[in-house]
Amino acid sequence: MSKRLLFRSHQGGFTLIELIVVIVILGILAATALPKFADLGGDARAASLKAAKGAMSSAAAMAHAVALVNPSATTVTSEGVQVTLTNGYPATGTDAQARKFAELAGINASDYTLETDKGELKVTPKGVKTANAGRCFVSYQPPAVAGGAPSITEGATTYNCN
């Protein structure tokens, strides 16, 4: 009787076939779940553009608040960044002015592509496919007249930012 107990105590664990079946099932589950998580880059870029839009809005509001306190000011220095004003808001008429405003908003060239065209700053995240580059952006344009509001436009959706 002791030989039977000793023999049974040596049998334990899983057989090789059971382990292979479990590995195959895990592989199938991973193969079906992976595509759902693999292409989250578009979501991340769209979310970063929403953050960039908020940062632009906040930076413009901060500069405008200083301009309201000192109406004769043509520049504003905030957080060590000097920004030129036009109609009470940060100017983006030149490339240098646009880059200063982007710096004030915390938008840097290592994460985004910055373009200026006719006084408009256009921000596109790095990694956007060339075909979608014109549709995944946030743009800022100061007001055309005194007392106006700046235009901050978002053209980003998850699909556009792939």
> Residue 65 has what pLDDT?
93
> Residue 33 has what pLDDT?
80
Q: Using CA atoms, how far apart are residues 24 and 17, in angstroms rounded to an integer?
A: 11
Whether 117 is covered by a domain: the verdict is yes
Q: Where does the pLDDT of residue 41 fall: very low under 50, low under 70, confident under 90, or very high at 90 and above?
A: confident
Q: Where does the pLDDT of residue 104 fall: very low under 50, low under 70, confident under 90, or very high at 90 and above?
A: very high
The total domain count for the chain is: 1
- Helix or strand run (H / E) with residue 104: helix 95-104
Whether 132 is covered by a domain: the verdict is yes
Whether 29 is covered by a domain: the verdict is no
Beta strands in 13-155 (DSSP E): 75-78, 81-86, 89-90, 112-117, 120-125, 138-141, 151-154
The percent of residues in the chain predicted with pLDDT above 90, rounded, is 53
Sequence-separated (6 or more) residues with CB below 8 Å from residue 128 = 45, 136, 161, 162
Question: How do residues 51-103 score in pLDDT, each as one tens digit?
Answer: 999 999 999 999 999 999 998 989 999 889 999 999 999 999 999 999 999 99
Q: Using CA atoms, how far apart are residues 53 and 107, in angstroms rounded to an integer?
A: 10
Q: What does the pLDDT average to over 29-57?
A: 84
Burial 111-140 (b: 16+ CB within 10 A, else e): ebebebeebbbbbbbeebeeebbeebbbbb
Mean of all residue pLDDT scores within the chain:
86
On whether the pTM is more than 0.85, the answer is no
Whether 125 is covered by a domain: the verdict is yes
Q: Residue 9: is its pLDDT beyond 60?
A: no
**Which of 156, 103, 160 is closest to 131 using CA atoms?**
160
Q: Residue 128: is its pLDDT beyond 70?
A: yes
Range of the domain at 87: 41-154
Whether 58 is covered by a domain: the verdict is yes
> Residue 3 has what pLDDT?
54
Whether 7 is covered by a domain: the verdict is no
Q: Using CA atoms, how far apart are residues 56 and 152, in angstroms rounded to an integer?
A: 8
Provide the β-strand partners of residue 86: 89
Whether 46 is covered by a domain: the verdict is yes
Secondary structure (DSSP) of 3-41: HHHHHHHH--S--HHHHHHHHHHHHHHHHHHHHHHHT-H
- Helix or strand run (H / E) with residue 63: helix 41-69
